[in-house]
Amino acid sequence: MRITHIGINGDGGRLDGSTDKLADDLAFFQQCGYSCVELSSIGLDVILAGRVFQPQLERVRAVTERFPLTYTLHPPNRLNLALGSDLALDKANFAANLEVCAALGAKVMVYHSGLIALERPRLGLVDLPTPDELAAAAQQEVDALKELMPYAAQLGVTVAMENRDPHSWEVGLLRQLGRDPAELATFHGGMLIPRIVEQVEAVGHPNLGICLDLAHLFLATNQLGIDYLEAVGQAAPHLRHIHANDNFGRLDDAYDDLGQRNPYGEGDLHLPPGWGAIPLAEALRQLPDYSGILILELRPRYRERLAEALETMRGIVASV
């Protein structure tokens, strides 16, 4: 294994469109010892209605160029080429995020798997899809990526499809709709590494691979009764990017804020490494051939612990 950079996420909610906050955060991350930052396009206001907003992108680039950092980019989580509400707009947003990558020198763009069919039924906007509709949606994502990946290659960007995590509201929704909660993986295939591998292989483009989120996977495998380390290894042949943080592998309950969740150890807590129960060193040992970036995705709540988190992660990587 060769980790080229241990990076940190730039929290989009914290930035809220402010380039002043972006400059402050990049300076702080550099001071803490990070050499890479995963920027969040939702925090930068660089895309409006599917098009790059060039004046704001220039303002953002003027900030990022001041720092000797490597950048990657995370588009909106809602970007969905399989089951979104407007495929043309989703493709436009995908392309616009690629253009932001090129402008900021980001060589990796993370894309959450589109195999999640519960978000819009949750609001009553659509019915749960049938098996045929789920299959068509998966094929739609493949076709859209086949169309978009040559543009990514032209811009020099690798797209890394990220595995997703389960939520209690999904289980609750299935119950409300009279469905068996055991069907969760049917309607949320993005939790399963083999499903993401299927999509990547079906697209078959060298600029498309997997972003393995070790924390999402810990929650998913615990919920579904799957072997965690085996699932990590399944991602290895297509691995292009890693996200890491810590949690306890417990499904969230009825509370969203960390002040309520942390005492119960529930959900995707984005804790510093070593604070939870994920066997991070053992997970990384399943990826001996990986060469690339590892991003620590931590909540702003742990800002004072960022330097400590970096040293802990360096120790974990060194042990591998």
Tens of pLDDT, residue by residue over 279-293, are 999 999 999 999 999
d(CA 215, CA 297) in angstroms, rounded, equals: 9
Residue 256 has pLDDT above 90, yes or no: no
Beta bridge partners of 9: 38
CA separation, residue 26 to residues 77, 91, 157, 244 (Å) = 22, 30, 22, 19
Please tell me the predicted confidence (pLDDT) of residue 320. Answer: 94
Query: Which among 137, 110, 144 has a CA at the least distance from the CA of 121?
Result: 137
With 90 as the cut, is the pLDDT of residue 254 above it?
Answer: no
Number of domains in the chain: 1
**Residue-wise DSSP of 215-258:** HHHHHHHHHHT--HHHHHHHHGGGEEEEEE-B--SB---S--SH
| pLDDT-above-90 percentage for the chain | 99
The pLDDT of residue 138: 98
Cα distance between residue 111 and residue 216, in whole Å: 14
Q: What is the pLDDT of residues 205-218, one digit of tens each?
A: 999 999 999 999 99
Q: Express each pLDDT in 46-84 by its tens digit.
A: 999 999 999 999 999 999 999 999 999 999 999 999 999
Among 253, 113, 231, 228, CA closest to 171: 253
Average of per-residue pLDDT across 109-130: 96
Q: What is the pLDDT of residue 132?
A: 98
Residue 101 tokens, joined:
């990558």
Residue 153 has pLDDT above 90, yes or no: yes
Mean pLDDT of the chain: 97
> Tokens 């906007």 map to which residue?
125
| pLDDT band per the 50, 70, 90 thresholds, residue 113 | very high
3-state SS of 25-42 is: HHHHHHHHCCCEEEEEHH
Q: What is the pLDDT at residue 72? A: 98
Task: Give the model confidence (pLDDT) of 4-49 as tens digits.
Answer: 999 999 999 999 999 999 999 999 999 999 999 999 999 999 999 9
Query: What is the pLDDT averaged over residues 157-162?
Result: 98
Give the domain CATH number at 32: 3.20.20.150
Q: Which domain holds residue 147?
A: 2-319
* Mean pLDDT along residues 258-279: 97
75, burial (CB in 10 Å: exposed 0-12, middle 13-18, buried 19+): buried
The residue to which tokens 């009553």 are assigned? 124
Q: State the Cα angle at 132 between 131 and 133, rounded to 5°.
A: 90
Pairwise CA distance, residues 125 & 107, whole Å: 36
Q: Round to whole Å and give the CA distance between 246 and 296.
A: 9
Q: What is the CB neighbour count within 10 angstroms for residue 229?
A: 14
